[in-house]
Structure 1
Amino acid sequence: MQPDAIRVLVVDDEPDSYAIINLMLSRQHEHPVEICLHAIDLSQAQSLIQRWHPDWIIVDLDLTEAHGFSIVELLSDGDHVELTFITAHEPEAADILVFSEMHLLQKPLNKKALMDLLDDIRNHQAYQDKYIRLKTFKHNIIQSQDLPLLAVPAQQSWKSFSMSEILYISHQEGLALLGLHDTRLLTEKSFQDYLRLFTRQTGFIQIHPQHVVQSIHISDVDTDRLEIIMNNGITLPVSAHKLQTLLRMLS
């Protein structure tokens, strides 16, 4: 066994799905897999998790006796396990997973998508505080009425922030710079990735090609200078064609 080989657990009540994943993983040699386990339900999954401590769990959302998200009930808050979900029927589940940097794969499974995901897991293997993604995911599915928590890759580690803490997102050399109340954090996510995520959230607006802001954190708008002042004192430019949209949002 290679020392960096990973243990995979597939939780799916369709044997063909497990067989396909197992075959795909066994036929690639770039990222060694020690073992690919199979559980048909959460009870079997619990036993295998306790015995084998898998590094990567792939869960079907459409289990017969439970929703796949229930897998989190089997995991402790400190677990560093990678979670991936698969589905034939619930593509909208990706909307909640994106906040925790977790992935949803559509059935029928695509080998390239699975291998890309394995590459991503390997690229983040050395990151500190990997438990944060599971923590944010648990919060977002249990405390669904609260603003979601966001898992952020930065400085070879994972960090967590409530969406309410984020004043603005700016473009810096292609990456996303998060503006918080008392600091700024350069993430390892592209600005375009966060642009798509944040502009779909109520209260966020793109005011400039390089800036997205959360409107509740704007303290003043200077219409003559085409600038806004955030409530932490940071000044950001506003594009002329965005000014009226911003003023209507604030009125």
Structure 2
Amino acid sequence: MPPGSRTDIPRPSFYRIKDYEELIIPTKDGEKLSAFYIRGPKGGSNSKVTVIMFHGNAGNIGHRLPIARMLLQAAGCNIFMLEYRGYGISTGHPDESGLNIDAQTALDYLRDRAETRDHKYIVYGQSLGGAVSVKLVSKNQGRGDIVGLILENTFLSMRKLIPSIIPPARYLASLCHQVWATDTLIGNVKVPTLFLSGLQDEIVPPTHMKQLYHLSNAPIKIWKPLPNGDHNSSVLEEGYFEAIAEFIQRVSSEDPEKK
């Protein structure tokens, strides 16, 4: 059972988020995925921007709602939070191929939904979610509606991560048989990318993020170190949400090179 398989999932209303939907979205292989779609302020500069959030291995989408609320306040964008198969109340069992199907399901849903089909998308992944995000963007960037990628404390690959984190590897034991070769895909990403790196990360060595930054061929790439951030608390560091808000504003403009 994955760490995020608890069913007592906080809802957006608990955090005083009012304009949202709770969704159940089917996948092509028969699973049913839980998701939240949270609307930003109507008529704002980022009202046609949706951030697609992919969380890390531990917890579920409800545990990331404080992050969503801060993003709403900082950037005024819409937020789509997907629950992987086997996490929260989503059906199924998580594995690499399945999570990639889930991510594609999320993007396809937004592209097909009348409310969001003309939005610009920014894909935001934390830890394992960063690996999911890189794979998704590398496959889907050709249409031009994905305008940015945000990575936080993401690893080069699972095989390169495990030797450096024993005994903390126990927290990722359910994923150890999988590959997640982010380092071989990041060079294919051609959208602006923000790298958020907690320099006190005790699970993913910060060198992994730095190497991903150097491997990136993104037209705009931004390195944001968080000196006191560890693996799970980097979001608490000064400048974290400001960096994301500035990035969103820059890449969602008509010509990000001029910002």
- TM-score for both structures, normalised by structure 2: 0.41
- TM-score for both structures, normalised by structure 1: 0.42
RCO higher in structure (CA 8 A, sep ≥6) = 2
More strand by share: 1
For the pair shown, the structure with the greater C-alpha radius of gyration is: 1
